[in-house]
Every structure is written in C-alpha cells, then in structure tokens.
C-alpha cells in the first residue's frame, strides 16, 4: 500500500495505523499527487490511499492519471471532504473507494479488501445519490469538480467582479464565511490571487452575466 497525504503528522499516523492491520504492508509515503503517480508506477502497490487536497497535482487528478497508467492499482480516497461533488469527482476519476478521515480500523480494513477485490466502496449516506447520478451515465459536466457547489457559486460571483461584501450580502452569510470559502477555492485551484482565480473561472465558463 502507498499513502499520499500532504500533512506529515496525518500521513505518519495513518501509516502506523494501517501497518498495524493484519495483512497490510505500507510500501511508501508521498506528500503530493505527482509523486503518488510516480511511486505507484514504480512499486505497483495493491492500493493507493489518497487524500484529495494536496499541492501541485491534487488527489482527483492523480487518481485520474493512475486509472490510465496503472488501472490494476486501486485507489481508496481517505479525506475530510464529504460533499457530493468531491465524492462524484473522485469516483468519476477512477477511485474505487471513498472514506472520511476518522473512520475506524474495521471500516478501513474492509474498504481496503473491497477495493482490491474490484468493488466500489462509499459511505451509505452518499451511495444512493451516487447511483442516481452515475447509474444512467448522464452526469452533467461541471467545471472545477474539485469545488463544492457553494465554492463554485462563489467563484462564479468572483469572476463577475463582485467583492466579498457583495457576495456575502447576496448569499446571506457573513463576510468571514465568504473569506473562508475563497481560501478553500484558492487552495483547491492552486491559485495565489483573486485575479488568477478570475482567469481560471472564466476559462471554465464561470462569471457570465445572465
């Protein structure tokens, strides 16, 4: 098993936890998606335990690359993000499993065994919605699938040139809440400024006036 997580403490703790499980051997640890793809191609683990938000190549993009390069390697996403859009993006990218950090050892071990066997593992709270959206094979294309619905909405308003106060008033939330969402957007899109975010948003079709 290969572990990909950009937080050293979390990554080492996860390695210690997973190594303690019967039949599980951790063969490597990386802190970004690009290294995850490279190491998986080199050591060919049965499973890559993948975080979503990482610097450079994020977990969704890395999963997509792994599905093309080494389809026999299963990806189990283990993350803090539980919104539908991130779950769907991960599964569409090729992940065979999706668990939230904090899952107990029994759930993690069961998920590892299931994804190695080729099964799809998601939490029961999202399973039905996943079937509804993916079962018919007609998932509407969404720009920036790594963003939540609210984050995409805020990025759209940013691309229209609105400031944080105007966005907060329109959405009926605190300005601080908007600031927190924007910080998350910047991290997920790997941009450092509002102007960069606007360029990315408009390239993705957001920001158009009705």
**Which pLDDT does position 131 carry in this prediction?**
63
Q: Please tell me the distance from the alpha carbon of residue 160 to that of residue 3, in angstroms, as a whole number.
A: 39
Across the range 124-140, mean pLDDT stands at 57
The structure's pTM equals 0.61
**Which pLDDT does position 139 carry in this prediction?**
46
**Which pLDDT does position 140 carry in this prediction?**
47
CB 198 within 8 A of CB 159: yes
**Which pLDDT does position 188 carry in this prediction?**
86
Burial class (CB within 10 angstroms; exposed 0-12, middle 13-18, buried 19+) of 184: middle
Token pair of 193 as six digits: 């400024």
Q: Please tell me the distance from the alpha carbon of residue 21 to that of residue 184, in angstroms, as a whole number.
A: 33
Token pair of 57 as six digits: 């190549």
Task: Kindly indicate the confidence band of residue 132, based on its pLDDT and cuts at 50, 70 and 90.
Answer: low
Q: Please tell me the distance from the alpha carbon of residue 45 to that of residue 18, in angstroms, as a whole number.
A: 14
CATH 3.40.50.2300, the chain: domain bounds = 2-134
Token pair of 100 as six digits: 């939230």
User: What's the whole-number average pLDDT of the chain?
Assistant: 85
**Which pLDDT does position 55 carry in this prediction?**
86
3-state secondary structure at position 156: helix
Q: Please tell me the distance from the alpha carbon of residue 167 to that of residue 185, in angstroms, as a whole number.
A: 14
CB 50 within 8 A of CB 22: no
CATH 1.10.10.10, the chain: domain bounds = 149-203
2-134 belongs to CATH 3.40.50.2300 = yes
Q: Tell me the range of 75-84, 106-115, 154-163 where mean pLDDT is highest.
A: 154-163
Q: Decide if pLDDT at 185 tops 50.
A: yes
Token pair of 22 as six digits: 């019967």
Burial class (CB within 10 angstroms; exposed 0-12, middle 13-18, buried 19+) of 195: exposed
**Which pLDDT does position 207 carry in this prediction?**
83
Q: Decide if pLDDT at 82 tops 60.
A: yes
Across the range 49-76, mean pLDDT stands at 91
pLDDT digits (tens, 9 = 90+) for 93-109: 889 888 888 777 788 88
Q: Among 3.30.70.120, 1.10.10.10, 1.10.260.40, 1.10.275.10, name the CATH number for the domain at 149-203.
A: 1.10.10.10
């Amino acid at each position: 098993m290969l572990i990909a997580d950009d937080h050293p403490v979390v990554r080492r703790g996860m390695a210690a936890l997973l190594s303690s499980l019967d039949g599980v051997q951790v063969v490597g640890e990386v802190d970004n998606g690009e290294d995850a793809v490279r190491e998986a191609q080199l050591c060919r683990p049965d499973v890559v335990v993948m975080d979503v938000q990482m610097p450079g190549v994020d977990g969704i993009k890395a999963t997509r690359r792994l599905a093309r390069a080494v389809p026999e390697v299963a990806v189990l996403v283990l993350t803090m993000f539980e919104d539908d859009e991130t779950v769907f993006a991960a599964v569409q990218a090729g992940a065979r499993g999706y668990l939230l950090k904090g899952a107990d050892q029994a759930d993690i071990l069961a998920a590892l065994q299931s994804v190695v066997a080729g099964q799809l593992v998601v939490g029961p709270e999202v399973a039905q919605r996943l079937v509804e959206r993916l079962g018919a094979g007609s998932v509407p294309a969404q720009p920036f699938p790594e963003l939540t619905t609210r984050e995409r909405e805020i990025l759209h308003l940013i691309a229209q040139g609105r400031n944080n106060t105007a966005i907060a008033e329109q959405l009926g939330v605190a300005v601080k809440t908007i600031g927190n969402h924007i910080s998350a957007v910047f991290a997920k899109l790997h941009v450092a400024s509002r102007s960069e975010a606007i360029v990315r948003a408009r390239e993705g079709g957001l920001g158009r006036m009705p």
